[in-house]
Amino acid sequence: MSDLRDLYQELIVDHYRRPHNYGPLVGANRHAEGFNPLCGDRLTLSLNVVDGMIKELRFEGVGCAISTASASLMTDALKGKTEAQAEAMFQHFQALVTGTDKAEAPVSLGKLEVLAGVREFPVRVKCATLAWHTLLAALHSVKQPVSTE
Amino acid sequence: MNAPMPNLMLDVARLRMDFPILSQMVHGKPLVYLDNAATTQKPRAVIDCMANYYAEYNANIHRGVHILSQQATDAYEGAREKVRRFINAARREEVIFVRGTTEAINLVASSYGQRLWPGNEILITEMEHHSNIVPWQLLCERSGAVLRVTPISDAGELRLDEFERQLGPATRLVAVTQLSNALGSINPLRRLIELAHGVGAVVLVDGAQAVAHLPVDVQALDCDFYAFSGHKLYGPTGIGVLYGKAALLDAMPPWQGGGDMIREVSFAKTTYNDLPFKFEAGTPHIAGGIGLGAAIDYVSKLGQPAIAAHEHDLLSYASEQAGAIPGLRLIGTAREKASILSFTVAGIHPHDVGTILDDAGVAVRAGHHCTMPVMTHFGVPATVRASFSFYNTIEEVDVLIHAIRRAQEVFG
């Protein structure tokens, strides 16, 4: 039960209920789509990147609490970051939710760390990382939808 | 409502001991296995008889002169006879062993499908599993035939009026499920088949979900093809059955070529074997066939009416209890239903419900159940599905209901 409470922390439920940065982004210059066909989670990410810096980003779609909260927290965290910083955060986040960060010097991810509980639920890692893989696709201008399944 | 009295015809507590997997703990709680529509658990009798085949008389069938091959052939062909009796086919050679329902449907689409032409129509329903949609779409692409789809009502029942309207002289084939895996709806097969035969169409019944829960009598139904999988009938995965009327199967071209399906091979001309072997190229899943036979023995001993009565009690009780939970929406409320309780919980995604139920030891399926058109009809991306078997208990339903309420607390 403690694992379950670690997974569904209040902050995650809040971001699921009232996701931040949700909706279309006017003037976006990068887009990507994430889709996990087996579970049906789907999200579209739109960014406005100027001189290598993420000025603004928003998302839309349907998903479970984990994938929605992850997208919401990610969009909060990446505003004002450079593309290089965003890619580094992707690596750290990936390590956080898969539990492969233990040996390394922990890098603070701020509020994103609330998703660390996912590591105890391996089948839900794909939910937490869908937004992040969609972000990479947007930064690298990948046209076809990405999946984490 | 009070919990109904346990059905006296089945001693469920004793039957559960026949299933080794059911006595285990998961996440520190007793396993409550309610994912029977995905696959059923296997009784010891099935597990043992498969192990026994490998340990005692493993050999290839239909060819060896030695004793082990004869024993294996007898056991495999004995299983075919058990299937014949179980579905009441007229003849043993009408029972084709395949990998599962999906392969059975693909076999018909590939082989029988060769007689379809542009202008012909295939009629399916909105509640079909993807495996009873996609093979027909592929056939339509190959043949130029047109796929038509009979809609369902908001209760999840087939629109019989629409079905009748869509049938016509162009309809060559009707493919319909007996029991919907996503909704639990039971289709009025005899009526559908009668109507289809009235316009000269052949009918394939997808029995994957039905075979463990409903009586199956292919002669009484008068269906032309009937497909099911062993693993949803307490048997192993990788084995299933295509039943077909002998006259149809005889007239159909072979599907896969290889050993066992031939009579004589030369580079000038190859002649094909008789039914059922014409459609059974290659070494089959021998242990699987024998295991399926053992599963049929097991359920036949319990008796279909006793199984149906107990499962009916479980589903009625679960539907009432679940229906009383605020925010819970039942998906699929057909008058004729079996085994399946599909639902959504307001404000909680089905996958999150599934994770929280799993934490309580309750195994369910969360997703689209390979029926995306059904999800579209009800405007949901996915549902939670609890599916019952004769080995489930009223107490297990209570654990399920409690865990759903727990999910609402977590998301409170």
Report yes or no: A105 at the B interface, CB cutoff 8 Å: no
The torsion of the CA quartet B267, B116, B205, B130, rounded to 10 degrees, works out to 90
Residues B18 and B166 in one domain: no
Q: Would you say residue B36 lies in a domain? A: no
Count of domains in chain A? 1
pLDDT, tens only, A13-47: 999 999 999 999 999 999 999 999 888 899 999 99
Q: Residue B7 has what pLDDT? A: 47
Per-residue pLDDT reduced to its tens digit, A86-141:
999 999 999 999 988 665 556 789 999 999 999 999 999 999 999 999 999 999 98
Question: Is residue A30 one of the residues assigned to a domain?
Answer: yes
Cα distances (angstroms) measured from residue B397 to each of B33, B82, B314, B327, B391: 10, 33, 7, 18, 12
Residue B401: CATH number of its domain: 3.90.1150.10
Give, for B302, the enclosing helix (H) or strand (E). helix B286-302
Q: What is the DSSP string of B212-271?
A: TTS---HHHHT-SEEEEEGGGGTS-TT-EEEEE-HHHHHHSPPSS-STTSEEEE-SS-EE
Please check whether residues B82 and B171 belong to one and the same domain.
yes
**The domain containing residue B287 runs over which residues?**
47-301
Q: What is the pLDDT of residue B152?
A: 98
Tell which of B266, B301, B336 closes a domain. Answer: B301
Q: What average pLDDT does range A47-52 have in this prediction?
A: 96
In a domain, residue B291? The reply is: yes
In a domain, A149, yes or no: no
Q: Is the sign of the CA dihedral B12, B238, B127, B350 positive or negative?
A: positive
Residue B39 inside a domain? The answer is: no
State the pLDDT at residue B6. Answer: 47
Which residues of B are known catalytic residues?
A: 370
Q: Which residues of B touch A1 (CB under 8 A)?
A: 359
Q: How many folded domains does chain B comprise? A: 2
| Residue A122 belongs to a domain | yes
Task: Collapse the DSSP code of B374 into the 3-class scheme (helix H, G, I; strand E, B; otherwise coil) and give the result.
Answer: helix
For residues B318 and B370, state if they share a domain. Answer: yes
In which order are the strands placed within the sheet that holds B240-244? B95-98, B240-244, B225-229, B202-206, B171-177, B121-125, B146-150
* pLDDT above 80: residue A143: yes
Task: State the pLDDT at residue B311.
Answer: 97
Is B107 a member of any domain?
yes
The reply to whether B291 and B359 lie within a common domain is: no
Residue among A5, A38, A121 whose CB faces B367 most closely: A38
Q: Among the three residues B268, B301, B334, which one is the final residue of a domain in this structure?
A: B301
Are B411 and A65 in contact (CB < 8 Å)?
yes
- Is A60 part of the contact surface with chain B (CB cutoff 8 Å)? no
How high is the pLDDT of residue A40?
83
Domain of residue A61, residue span? 2-139
Taking only the tens of pLDDT, chain B with its 412 residues reads 455 554 458 999 999 999 999 999 999 999 999 999 999 999 999 999 999 999 999 999 998 889 999 999 999 999 999 999 999 999 999 999 999 999 999 999 999 999 999 999 999 999 999 999 999 999 999 999 999 999 999 999 999 999 999 999 999 999 999 999 999 999 999 999 999 999 999 999 999 999 999 999 999 999 999 999 999 999 999 999 999 999 999 999 999 999 888 888 999 898 999 999 999 999 999 999 999 999 999 999 999 999 999 999 999 999 999 999 999 999 999 999 999 999 999 999 999 999 999 999 999 999 999 999 999 999 999 999 999 999 999 999 999 999 999 999 999 8
Residue B352: which of A3, A62, A65 has the nearest Cβ?
A: A65
The residue in chain A having the minimum alpha-carbon distance to the alpha carbon of residue B369 is A38
Of B366, B381, B410, the CB nearest to A62: B381
